[in-house]
A = this chain, B = another copy of it.
Amino acid sequence: MQKRIPLTPDSSRCSTCMLNNLCLPVGMSTIDISRFEEVVQERLRIPKGESLFEAGERADAIFGIRVGSLKTQLEDASGHVQVTGFLLPGEIAGLDGFLEGHQLSHAVALEDTEVCVARVDEIDRVAAHIPSLQQQLRRLTSTEMKRSHQLVVSLGVLRSEQRLAAFLVNMSQRLSILGYSSSEFILRMSREEIGNYLGLTLETVSRLFSRFARENLIRIHQREVKLLDLPALRDLAGTDCG
């Protein structure tokens, strides 16, 4: 269902990609980026609803998101699903799996999505010559860890309204880094997916959105959100929003 897109010499590459200051090449010199580029030999298109990878699969690559968005989720033995994150352009999918050779989670496209494929063996081969790449991989892994910790804190100590406020503020921050409006955006995931991610039911999420709207913190219509009072939301969330 995924469509492979081999990269020809004249395809657009990392060095000309708008996202190269967010994605894997963060912090690399122009020269390092051009050396790194050869690691990325192809792209994949994943239609909405399809999987980029599933838990247990051999993990021989990590994926930089070019356009679109993904959710990652875990399933336990009894079939329960826990959404562990939403990934936006410039962010990297498959980091947890890459560390141990097979995927730990299941990544599904929330909309038609395109990712750049960086094969692990290529990375290892090239990393010897690009110290900043090793460093960047460590940094990304650490970020992933922090995200996971943040989620633990959110699920462990925050109340539902705080979790949802933190979620909105976090989305706003990440979207604004991508150059989108930090106050007005479209949620690519359903109420159910948000709820699952935050350890709430879809009804609770819906009710909270309605309440936030009533309190003039946001305006919301289906998946279009407008944050009317970001400071108040930030305050509600308890300042740090991962």
Contacts and interface: CB of A to CB of B under 8 A. Distances in A.
A16 interface: no
Oligomer copy total: 2
A130 B80 CA distance: 40
B96 A145 contact: yes
A227 interface: no
Contacts of A125: none
Contacts of A240: 76-77
A142 B96 contact: yes
B77 A149 contact: no
A181 interface: no
A146 to B, nearest CB: 6
Nearest to A141: B99
Interface of A: 74, 76-78, 80-82, 84, 96, 99-100, 104-105, 138-139, 141-146, 148-149, 151-153, 155-157, 196, 199, 238-240
